Amino acid sequence: MNAGKRRRREPRSTYSYTIEEEFVCIIDHDRGRSVTNDAANVIADLVAAGIDVAKYRIIYRDTAGIWDLMCTAGGTFAGFIHLNARTKEEAKARRCCAPDDAAAQRGPS
């Protein structure tokens, strides 16, 4: 195999999360891939941890400090809704959709 053709895999994202009311709140720790670029794996991690992602709004703070919403469908990542919120409280206040309606209302990812 030609070593020049190998694709290096970036390390997985490093993040923490809390569950607050109907929200899963994720903080990107800016090591490895970003949560934005590793979203499918982040959602899979939550599901593997026993979290029913269909029951929660999943908001996350990216490496620039902006809060957005991750959408899921069938227990997998389905896209983003850009909230462009500066604080977690502001992101929580934007009731753009119910958790299971998020995939239907998301914008382009």
Q: Are 46 and 17 a contacting pair, CB within 8 Å?
A: yes
Please state, as a whole number, how many other Cβ atoms lie within 10 Å of the Cβ of residue 56. Answer: 20
pTM, two decimal places: 0.81
Backbone angles phi, psi at 94, to 5 degrees: -85, 90
User: Checking phi first, is residue 81 left (phi over 0); if not, alpha (psi -120 to 50) or beta?
Assistant: beta
**According to the model, what pLDDT value does residue 108 have?**
43
* Mean pLDDT within 10-36: 96
109 within a domain of the structure (yes/no): no
**According to the model, what pLDDT value does residue 10 have?**
73
92 within a domain of the structure (yes/no): yes
Report residue 1's pLDDT band, with 50, 70 and 90 as the boundaries.
very low
Query: What is the domain count for the chain?
Result: 1
Partners of 28 in the β-ladder = 15
Give the mean pLDDT of the chain: 87
pLDDT digits (tens, 9 = 90+) for 27-79: 999 999 999 999 999 999 999 999 999 999 999 999 999 999 999 999 999 99
54 within a domain of the structure (yes/no): yes
100 within a domain of the structure (yes/no): yes
1 within a domain of the structure (yes/no): no
Structural domain that includes position 48:
12-104
What is the Cα–Cα distance from 69 to 81, expressed in whole angstroms? Answer: 5
